[in-house]
Amino acid sequence: MSTATVTHAKENGTSALVEVCSVRLEKTWFGVPISHILEIVGGARPQPVPLAPGYVGGLVHYRGDVLTTVSLRHLLNMPPKDGPQDIIVLESKGGCFGLLVDAVGEVLTLSAVDFEQNPSTLDARRRALLAGAYKLKDKLLVMLDPERLDPIRLSSAQPS
């Protein structure tokens, strides 16, 4: 098994392996590069912030700080979900923020050769959020770009 992986990598030569954490929203799976993830917090109930832009999912207490969360559901025009949600704490240039998802899946090791850019037919709004996709055996894993999900970027991108 391990030898097979090695030969596979050798065949591809330049290709590197990428570790990706999969997250679920309803029935769709998305991927987040693990290099940006600080921590995963399960079963959180964010405190809503009145008058905040719609994509702000609320505040959570995270290691002594107050963390602003971004609702992936809102960004993808899905109805809000009641009950606890999982949070992926992401690090970006502007500091930390949390990404609210329905559930966190597993960590996958993917090969960079399987990666493809966004299709040109994707609408502009989604194209701004998604980074491309990995071709898995049976499905596509759509990648999220943590930098583009940063609330500061979002606030300048869409005037709420």
Partner 1 sequence: MDELTREFLIESQEGLDRMERCLTELEERPQDAGLLGDIFRSVHTIKGTTGFLGFKRLEKLAHAGENLLGLLRDGKLHATQGIITGLLQLLDGLRSILKTIEAEGSEGDGEDSALIVHLEQLQDATTAVAQTAHTAVAASGQSAVSAPAEPPPAPVAPVASAAPAPVPAASVPSAAEPAPPDPTVQTEAEKPRPQAIASAAESSLRVDVTLLNRMMNLVGELVLTRNQVLQATANDPNMTMLSRRLDMVTADLRENVMKARMQPVSNIFSKMPRIVRDLSQVLGRKVRLQVEGQDTELDKSLLEAIKDPLTHAVRNSLDHGIEPPEVRVAAGKDAEGTLKLRASHEGSHVIIEVSDDGAGIAVEKVRAKAIERGVITQERAALLGERELLQLIFLPGFSTAAAVTNVSGRGVGMDVVRTNVEKIGGKVEVDSRTGKGTTLRLRIPLTLAIIPALIVRTLEQSFALPQGSLSELVHIPPEQANASIEWIEGVALYRLRGKLLPLVFLDRMLTPNGKHREADERDNFIAVLDADGRQFGLVVDGLADPEEIVVKPLSAVLKDIGLYSGATVLGNGDLALILDPGSIALKSGVTMSAREEEAAVTSGEEVTDELKGLEYLLVETAGRRAAVPLADVLRIEQLPLSRIEYIGYRPVINFNGQLLPVEDSGGVLQAAEGKPEAQVIVVVCRDASRHVGIAVSQVLDVASGADLFEAGTTQRTGGVTLLKEHVTGVVDLGNVPPLPADEHQTADWNRIAETLA
77: left (phi over 0), alpha (psi -120 to 50) or beta: left
Q: Give the contacts of 12 (CB within 8 A, at least 6 positions apart).
A: 111, 113
Of the candidates 92, 23, 78, 85, the one whose C-alpha atom is nearest the C-alpha of residue 48 is 85
Residue closer to partner 1 by CB (options 54, 119) is: 54
Which position among 6, 34, 49, 107 is part of the footprint of partner 1 (CB under 8 A)? 49
Give the C-alpha separation, 41 to 60, whole Å: 10
The yes or no reply on residue 47 touching partner 1 (CB under 8 A) is: yes
CB of 60 to partner 1, least distance (A): 7
Dist CA 29 CA 91 (whole Å): 21
Q: Which is nearer to partner 1, 50 or 79 (CB)?
A: 50
* Contact string (CB under 8 A) for partner 1, positions 50-69, x = contact: xxxx--x--xxx--xxx-x-
The answer to whether 42 contacts partner 1 (rule: CB under 8 A) is no
Q: How far is the CB of 92 from partner 1 (least distance, A)?
A: 11
Stretch that binds partner 1, among 49-57, 74-82, 108-116, 129-137 (CB under 8 A): 49-57
Site membership for partner 1, residue 71 (CB under 8 A): no
Report, in Å, the least distance between residue 71 CB and partner 1. Answer: 13
User: Which positions lie near partner 1, rule CB under 8 A?
Assistant: 47-53, 56, 59-61, 64-66, 68, 94-95, 97, 151-152, 154-155
